[in-house]
């Protein structure tokens, strides 16, 4: 059986590795000329680690962890709103969240595939979904490639999604814009975690290699870029507590990533058409407030490979894809909604709501320490299908 996977992001690589491990011939078509992930850091959650375990590489990613200790949500002036304990998370879910560079996690996934799998610098330009009489095929500028399965893992602006679901509105602007930095960790004591205030958020994640992955999010009109992104970050966050001004100051301006956040407000009606599966951001782009986009993409990839990987005919592929949609479409839609709700809570612009939120979170963390973790059950307690 042959699969073509379009897109070498976390979703595409996971699906490709899972199918390859089940004996499929796999081709990964990637428009970039090098396998280099967009973005700097990534939080791999316990559900993502279980997806990686299904491919046999969970421990390779666990080893990348810098800390599994305490983290905190605090206010811009440094007062702590609530703490989360890494040990309590490990007790409940078997793992803590593993902060890592994107490239280190991607290297682990790329290592699962033979080098000849990749067709780099090739852009998919269209797809025909196939039916009971015709195999699906992928159109690139220079070729039409047939396969038994095509996987559309081409990210938030997916052109394959537009071809498969032309009636769908696609991903819409969430109103939030985000910056990402990877800088040397400043000297001094600070707690990893997030800082929330006035509709803005700043995340601080030290990594094992002596650097810190930091991200910031705020409201802005769609499409705005700033001539000096570093000055803009300083304007918005420069008065926040240590080490935020220091992290911004340490960033080389040309390395600061700035992206508007798009989300799939309207869910897709299915996660397949004919013999083409869709996964990751292409299927369910979500805001980053739950840190789940890549984790969900990896869940998709592993689930798809488990459900379709044993197929020996187009009929069996069709049956596996129907199960894939049944399992993944409700979960993807739920994660988009949860991330959006989390964003509204994190980035509340109403002072009274913000005060109530901080008070409620502080009380809950003191009186029912397990409450925050329990609330994460539907997100991170996921297990791959057998
Ligand atoms: C600020 C921020 C922080 C985030 N933090 C986290 C986090 O901590 N944890 C987490 O789980 N998620 C996080 N995410 C979300 C995460 O980055 C994405 O959800 C994830 O990368 C999606 O993976 P993917 O494989 O679906 O798509 P992508 O990673 O976007 O990969 C798509 C690939 O397809 C290729 N491609 C596109 N079009 C074509 C074409 N026509 N032909 C060939 N190739 C094509 C692209 O070049 C790309 O390589 C964050 C996102 C943002 C913006």
Laid out side by side, the sheet with 137-140 consists of: 124-128, 137-140, 144-146
- Position 85 scores a pLDDT of 77
Cα separations in angstroms, 298 against 44, 47, 173, 273: 10, 9, 24, 20
pTM above 0.75, yes or no: yes
Q: Which two tokens stand for residue 279?
A: 């996964």
Quote the CA–CA distance of 161 and 146 in Å, as a whole number.
Answer: 18
Provide mean pLDDT across the span 330-358. Answer: 96
**Residue bearing the CA closest to ligand 1, atom 51:** 288
46 pLDDT higher than 90: yes
Share above pLDDT 70 across residues of the chain, in percent, rounded to a whole number: 99
User: CA torsion 190→191→196→197, rounded to 10°?
Assistant: -30
pLDDT of the residue at 371:
82
Q: Which of 67-76, 90-99, 339-348 has the highest mean pLDDT?
A: 339-348
- The pairing of beta strand 2-6 with beta strand 137-140: unpaired
- Report whether 301 contacts 51 (CB < 8 A): yes
The Å distance, Cα 173 to ligand 1 centre, comes to 16
Question: Sign (positive/negative) of CA torsion 354, 359, 364, 365?
Answer: positive
Distance CA(358)–CA(81), nearest Å, equals 6
What local confidence, expressed as pLDDT, does residue 68 receive? 62
Distance from C-alpha of 191 to C-alpha of 207, rounded to nearest angstrom: 13
- What was the pLDDT predicted at 65? 80
**Is residue 133 predicted with pLDDT exceeding 90?**
no
Residue 354 near residue 197, CB atoms below 8 Å: yes
Q: Atom 33 of ligand 1 has which residue's CA nearest to it?
A: 7
Question: And the tokens for 303?
Answer: 């689930």
Distances (CA, A) of 207 to 44, 184, 276, 298, 338: 12, 10, 37, 21, 27
Which residues, in sequence order, are bridge partners of residue 30? 120
pLDDT above 70: residue 78: yes
Count of CB atoms within 10 A of residue 31's CB?
Answer: 18
Residues 136-157: pLDDT tens digits?
999 998 899 999 999 999 999 9
Mutate which of 200, 216, 281, 304 for ligand 1 pocket (most atoms within 8 A of beta carbon): 281
Q: Tell which atom from ligand 1 comes closest to the C-alpha of 259.
A: 53
Residues with CB under 6 A from ligand 1: 6-12, 29-32, 39, 42-43, 123-124, 153-155, 159, 178, 180, 215, 259, 261, 280-282, 288, 291-295, 297
- pLDDT for the residue numbered 271: 98
Chain-centroid distance of CA 249 in Å reads 27
- Ligand 1 atom closest to 295 (CA): 11
Q: Which of 36, 350, 346 is nearest to 215 (CA)?
A: 346
Q: Give the pLDDT confidence of 182-216 residue by residue, as tens digits.
A: 999 999 999 999 999 999 999 999 998 899 999 99
Q: 67 pLDDT exceeds 80?
A: no
For residues 186 and 249, what is the distance between their CA atoms, to the nearest angstrom?
10
Asked if residue 283 lies in contact with residue 264, where contact means CB atoms within 8 angstroms, the answer is yes
Which residue reads 């890494």 in tokens?
A: 86
Q: Name the pairing type of β-strands 149-152 and 276-278.
A: parallel
- Asked if pLDDT for residue 369 goes beyond 80, the answer is no
Residue 367 predicted with pLDDT over 90: no
Which atom in ligand 1 lies closest to the alpha carbon of residue 38?
A: 29
Q: What is the 3-state secondary structure (H, E, C) of the chain?
A: CEEEEECCCHHHHHHHHHHHHCCCEEEEEECCCCCCCCCCEEEECHHHHHHHHHCCCHHHHHCCCCCCCCEEEECCCCCEEEEECHHHHHHHHCCCCEEEEHHHHHHHHHCCCCHHHEEECCCEEEEECCCCCCCCEEEECCCEEECCEEEECCCCCCHHHHHHCCCCCCCEEEEEEEEEEEEECCCCCCCCEEEEECCEEEEEEECCCCEEEEEEEEECCCCCCCCCHHHHHHHHHCCCCCCHHHHHHHCCHHHCEEEEEEECCCCCCCCEECCEEECCHHHHCCCHHHCCHHHHHHHHHHHHHHHHCCCCCHHHHHHHHHHHHHHHHHHHHHHHHHHHHHHHHHCCCCHHHHHHHHHHHHHHHHHCCCHHHHHHHHHHCCCCCC
Task: Give CA–CA dist 323/270, Å, rounded.
Answer: 11
């Amino acid at each position: 059986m042959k699969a073509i996977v379009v897109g070498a992001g976390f979703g595409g690589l996971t699906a490709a590795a899972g199918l390859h491990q089940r004996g499929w011939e796999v081709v990964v078509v990637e428009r970039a000329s090098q396998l280099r992930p967009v973005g700097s850091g990534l939080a791999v959650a316990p559900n993502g680690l279980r997806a990686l375990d299904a491919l046999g590489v969970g421990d390779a990613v666990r080893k990348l962890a810098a800390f599994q200790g305490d983290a905190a949500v605090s206010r811009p002036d440094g007062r702590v709103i609530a703490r989360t304990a890494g040990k309590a998370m490990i007790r409940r879910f078997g793992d803590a969240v593993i902060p890592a560079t994107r490239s280190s996690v991607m290297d682990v996934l790329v290592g699962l595939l033979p080098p000849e799998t990749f067709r780099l610098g090739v852009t998919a330009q269209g797809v025909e979904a196939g039916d009971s009489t015709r195999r699906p095929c992928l159109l690139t500028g220079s070729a039409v490639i047939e396969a038994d399965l095509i996987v559309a893992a081409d990210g938030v602006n997916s052109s394959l999604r537009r071809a498969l679901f032309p009636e769908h509105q696609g991903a819409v602007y969430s109103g939030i814009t985000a910056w990402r930095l990877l800088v040397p960790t400043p000297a001094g004591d600070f707690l990893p975690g997030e800082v929330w205030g006035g509709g803005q958020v700043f995340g601080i994640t030290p990594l094992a290699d002596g650097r810190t992955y930091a991200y910031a999010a705020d409201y802005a009109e769609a499409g705005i870029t700033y001539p000096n992104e570093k000055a803009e970050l300083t304007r918005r966050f420069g008065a926040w507590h240590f080490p935020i001004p220091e992290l911004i100051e340490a960033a080389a301006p040309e390395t600061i990533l700035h992206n508007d956040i798009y989300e799939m407000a309207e869910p897709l009606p299915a996660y397949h058409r004919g013999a083409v599966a869709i996964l990751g951001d292409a299927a369910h782009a979500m805001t980053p407030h739950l840190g789940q986009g890549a984790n969900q993409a990896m869940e998709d990839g592993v689930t798809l490979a488990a459900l379709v990987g044993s197929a020996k005919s187009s009929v069996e592929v069709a049956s596996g894809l129907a199960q894939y949609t049944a399992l993944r479409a409700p979960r993807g839609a739920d994660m988009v909604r949860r991330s959006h709700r989390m964003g509204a809570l994190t980035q509340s612009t109403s002072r009274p709501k913000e005060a109530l939120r901080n008070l409620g979170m502080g009380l809950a963390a003191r009186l029912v320490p397990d409450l925050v973790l329990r609330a994460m059950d539907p997100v991170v307690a996921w297990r791959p299908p057998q």
